[in-house]
Amino acid sequence: MSRFIVGLTGGIGSGKTTVANLFAEQGVDIIDADIVAREVVMPGTPGLKAICIRYGEKVLLDDGSLDRKQLRNLVFSDTEEKQWLDNLLHPQIRQRMIERCAQATSCYAILVVPLLLENDMTGMVNRVLVVDTSESLQQQRTAQRDNVSLAQVDQIMATQLTRQQRLSHADDVIHNDAKPDKLKEQVNKLHQQYLILAKKDAKA
């Protein structure tokens, strides 16, 4: 069991997945909130059943799985509906993440949560690691990756903390404006630091 948990966060398009994969290459267990969020709405889950009761089968794809894009369109600009969905899914996601952290076997584990700070989940982690990049790079990467307009990216970014707010909560920062080898260098340095901190924590 990994008692020492590092919370990895950052704005949309900052490169959280790339950084998490580099830690995984070091043998570190990764618990990803986005993957867990998909698991709690898989066919047959209480989460998906509740969503279907509220919105009908229009939120389902032909194979019976959740049409995430359709659901996002329904709740994105409706504060009340978004709140209902958050109240339904967030407790399930949090509980499953706690279980996954408890099951981790590496010296420390990385918990990847895009909205770690926005959802006040820092109590689940020992340290907060922020992946930081310029807002223009965030926009560019997200627009290319998700095939959406810059206006849509700006809308999403407006719901998240500002870059400055996020950095003010960071224990550690990885700068992802650099080349891939620089990114790996930063991860390797932090990996060694976290190994030391985890061992100290285990003895405490």
Domain extent listing, the chain: 1-28+108-204, 36-105
Amino acid at 3: R
CA 87 to CA 53: how far, in whole Å?
15
Please, what CATH class does the domain formed by 1-28+108-204 belong to? Answer: alpha beta
Amino acid at 30: I
Find the length of the chain: 204
Amino acid 3: pLDDT: 87
Residue 72, number of CB atoms within 10 A of its CB? 12
DSSP string, 56-97: -GGGB-TTSSB-HHHHHHHHTT-HHHHHHHHHHHHHHHHHHH
Amino acid 1: pLDDT: 58
Reading the chain (204 residues) residue by residue, the pLDDT tens digits are: 578 999 999 988 889 999 999 999 999 999 999 999 999 999 999 999 999 999 999 999 999 999 998 998 888 778 899 999 999 999 999 999 999 999 999 999 999 999 999 989 999 999 999 999 887 777 787 777 877 787 777 778 788 888 899 999 999 999 998 677 899 999 999 999 999 999 999 887
Amino acid 178: pLDDT: 61
**pTM to 2 decimal places:** 0.88
Largest CA distance in the chain: 53
CA 172 to CA 190: how far, in whole Å?
8
Amino acid 89: pLDDT: 95
